[in-house]
Structures are given as structure tokens and as C-alpha cells.
């Protein structure tokens, strides 16, 4: 019987500690990064995701050729995935006490990716393939806290 009483006490203590840590928010006392710099970097990743979404949506609409329906579907799926990444980044910025910069003014200058339309269907795929890693690299850079000297 005393074993179950100890377990209940432990659970109550665990819950008490969890509530205490929740009240501290996303930035706890042992966070070593510079919050303002992290928010700025995440906002650059936000801009990159916006550019990628727009480019994939453009390609989804403009794809032509025999396999165009499959290509359109693929580009549309990529756009949805990039939009999810954008949501995650914006939410993290919000958690850190910042404001996600979704203002279209200056998106291109803040983004690690370029918006390239191309003239033909194959240009769309080529432009996207050449730049497809930019969004992933931006997220990868910001998925872990930045190191500061």
C-alpha cells in the first residue's frame, strides 16, 4: 500500500514541476541563445518558405506536357509541405515572443531562395531543382539553437 502512496506523491510532484516549467514559456533560464537573433534568423527562414510556396504554386499551375497532371500534383504537394514549414516557423517565432514577418514587402531580399518562373515546363523543374534545397537548408540552420561565441 505504501508503494502506491509513494507513486501518487511522485506523480503529484512531476505535475507540479511540469506546471512550473510551462509558466516559464518557450525561453527558459537555461536557454543559451540570443532570442532576438534567433527570431531574426527564423524570420529569414519564413521569407524563404514564402518564396518556395509561391514558386511551387506557380509551377503547379503552369506545368505542361504529357505528364503535366502528375507534375502539377507533385508541385502542389510541395507547396503544401512548404506551407506547413512556414506555419511551424511562425509558431516558433510567436513562442519566443517575436512577431513572424509575413509582410510581402522585402520577402525576396530576406529569403535564401530565389523566385524563378522559367519559360517552359522543363524550366520550372530545373529552377526548382536548383533551388529546392534552400528552404530545407534554412529550416536546418534554424532547427537547432544558434551557437554564439
Minimum mean pLDDT among 45-54, 59-68, 82-91, 97-106: which range? 59-68
**CA distance linking residue 52 with residue 70, whole number of Å:** 19
Query: Does residue 95 contact residue 25 with C-beta atoms inside 8 Å?
Result: yes
What's the domain count of the chain? Answer: 1
Whether 96 is in a domain gets the answer: yes
| pTM for the whole structure | 0.66
Whether 93 is in a domain gets the answer: yes
What domain range includes position 114? 34-143
- Residues 28-78 pLDDT 10s: 777 778 899 999 999 999 999 999 999 999 999 988 888 889 999 999 999
Whether 5 is in a domain gets the answer: no
Whether 21 is in a domain gets the answer: no
Instruction: Kindly give, in sequence order, each residue whose CB lies less than 8 Å from that of residue 132, ignoring residues fewer than 6 positions away.
Output: none
3-state DSSP helix/strand/coil percent for the chain, to nearest 5? Answer: 70, 0, 30
* Sign of torsion over alpha carbons 116, 119, 121, 127: negative
- Residues 11-36 pLDDT 10s: 888 888 777 766 666 777 777 788 99
What is the CATH number for 118?
1.20.1260.10
Amino acid at each position: 500500500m505504501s508503494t502506491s502512496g509513494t507513486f501518487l506523491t511522485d506523480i503529484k510532484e512531476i505535475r507540479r514541476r511540469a506546471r512550473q516549467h510551462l509558466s516559464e514559456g518557450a525561453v527558459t533560464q537555461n536557454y543559451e541563445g540570443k532570442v532576438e537573433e534567433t527570431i531574426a534568423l527564423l524570420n529569414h527562414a519564413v521569407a524563404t518558405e514564402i518564396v518556395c510556396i509561391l514558386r511551387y504554386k506557380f509551377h503547379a499551375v503552369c506545368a505542361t506536357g504529357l505528364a503535366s497532371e502528375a507534375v502539377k500534383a507533385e508541385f502542389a504537394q510541395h507547396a503544401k509541405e512548404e506551407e506547413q514549414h512556414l506555419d511551424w516557423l511562425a509558431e516558433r517565432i510567436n513562442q519566443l515572443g517575436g512577431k513572424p514577418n509575413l509582410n510581402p514587402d522585402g520577402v525576396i531580399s530576406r529569403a535564401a531562395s530565389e523566385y524563378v518562373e522559367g519559360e517552359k515546363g522543363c524550366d520550372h523543374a530545373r529552377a526548382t531543382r536548383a533551388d529546392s534545397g534552400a528552404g530545407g537548408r534554412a529550416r536546418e540552420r534554424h532547427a537547432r539553437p544558434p551557437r554564439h561565441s
